[in-house]
Amino acid sequence: MTDEEEREPLATREATAHKMGYDGPKNSLLASYVNIALAVSAYWVVSILTVFVNKALLSGETVDLKAPLFITWFQCVVSTFICFVLSSLSKIFPQHVTFPEGSPWDTSIMWKMLPLSILFTAMISFNNLCLMYVGVAFYYIGRSLTTVFNVILTYLVLGQKTSTNAVMCCLVIVMGFWLGVDQENVVGSLSVIGTIFGVLGSLALSMYSIHTKRVLPYVRQEIWLLSYYNNFYSCFLFLPLIAIDGEYHAIVNYPKLFTAYFWFLMTIGGVCGFAIGYVTALQIKVTSPLTHNISGTAKACAQTVLATYWFQETKPFLWWASNYVVLFGSGAYARVKQKEMEEHHKSSLLRNQEKPV
């Protein structure tokens, strides 16, 4: 995910609060704090709920359908349907519903979007396959190399070098990852294939984030339009993958295929998949990219603790230490990048001031 949005000016928030009926700086500041608290809470609840729901769908005893690609495909269908409904409502009730204008059937956009949509399909497939084989408690560690791949691919693809401090943070993350894998093996619950899928998911996410920067101009920088197109095209990209993986037989022979409860759970999973995109964008909008990273890191810690309690898992000290090493490395990396951005901004201002009038 690209973190290029900046914190909204306080004057803008105060104006918004005033329209809502808040008068005075104290009330406007209180309203801002309430909005931030609600946005962060929504992100935490939806994000953790999405992971647990997907885990139940992918490897829970209630569903017990060995067709992870089909489950992921249906989540794309639900997200596409929601985007289509919002797009239609924005045309009928433009004063109440807003959604960027665009059609995924536009062939000129389709071919430009296709490489990114392939990466999107790979990313969500590997993420769900990882979650299918590993426990929720280990899921964060299994997918913790995203930052490391971001640094490597940024250099290989974009030719941009990373500071020594940022590289050191990445080394800390790698150390935490290897310690976590070792400790997962010690407790006897290591899934090698699940860990591999987690690494591939991190790689796909990094490639997706970098390629997103190139594609956003084609959709007028509209994140929601990008999500609409990706989910729409993925609905078609998944079909041959499902056939190649042989999931068709598992689907047609599934005894609960025509039960309302099964499709209710599948729909909940699809809604959660769509909602996580919304609350992520909302949290970045009302706070800042750095706050979003810190919130995501803290959420991962809470998710790990909750998972060990929910599934009644006992982990050794070094296993917990690996989580905190990864959390520390990720948080430090976010802080280093923020300071570098601030220094770059200040140097740009100084250069502009030194220019002759």
pLDDT, position 195: 95
**Comparing C-alpha atoms, which of 79, 67, 114 is closest to residue 244?**
67
Contact 63, 265 (CB under 8 A): yes
Rounded to the nearest integer, the mean pLDDT of the chain is: 85
pLDDT, position 341: 81
Give me the residue label for tokens 């994140």. 223
Tell me how far CA of residue 125 lies from CA of 68, 165, 190, in angstroms.
8, 33, 20
Whether pLDDT at 16 is above 60: no
Quickly state the pLDDT bin for 289 (edges 50, 70, 90). Answer: low
Quickly state the pLDDT bin for 300 (edges 50, 70, 90). Answer: confident
In this prediction the pTM is 0.83
Contact 71, 127 (CB under 8 A): no
What is the mean pLDDT of the segment spanning 33-59? 89
CB atoms within 10 A of CB 77: 17
Q: Which amino acid is at 63?
A: V
Whether pLDDT at 24 is above 70: no
Give the tokens for residue 306. 């909750």
**Comparing C-alpha atoms, which of 47, 59, 225, 200 is closest to residue 121?**
200
pLDDT, position 25: 56
What is the mean pLDDT of the segment spanning 242-262? 92
C-alpha triplet 272, 39, 330: angle, nearest 5° = 85
C-alpha triplet 109, 282, 342: angle, nearest 5° = 90
| Domain parsing of the chain, residue ranges | 8-134+192-286, 146-190+289-352
DSSP sequence for 3-34: ----PPPHHHHHHHHHHTT--SHHHHHHHHHH
What is the mean pLDDT of the segment spanning 273-277? 87
pLDDT in tens, 175-209: 999 999 999 999 998 999 999 999 999 999 889 88
pLDDT, position 161: 86
pLDDT cut 90: percent of the chain above it: 51
pLDDT, position 26: 58
pLDDT in tens, 119-167: 999 999 999 999 999 999 999 898 889 889 989 988 888 888 889 999 9
**Which residues make Cβ contacts (< 8 Å) with residue 169, sequence separation at least 6?**
147, 329, 330, 332, 333, 336
Whether pLDDT at 22 is above 60: no
pLDDT in tens, 86-124: 999 999 999 999 999 999 999 889 999 999 999 999 999
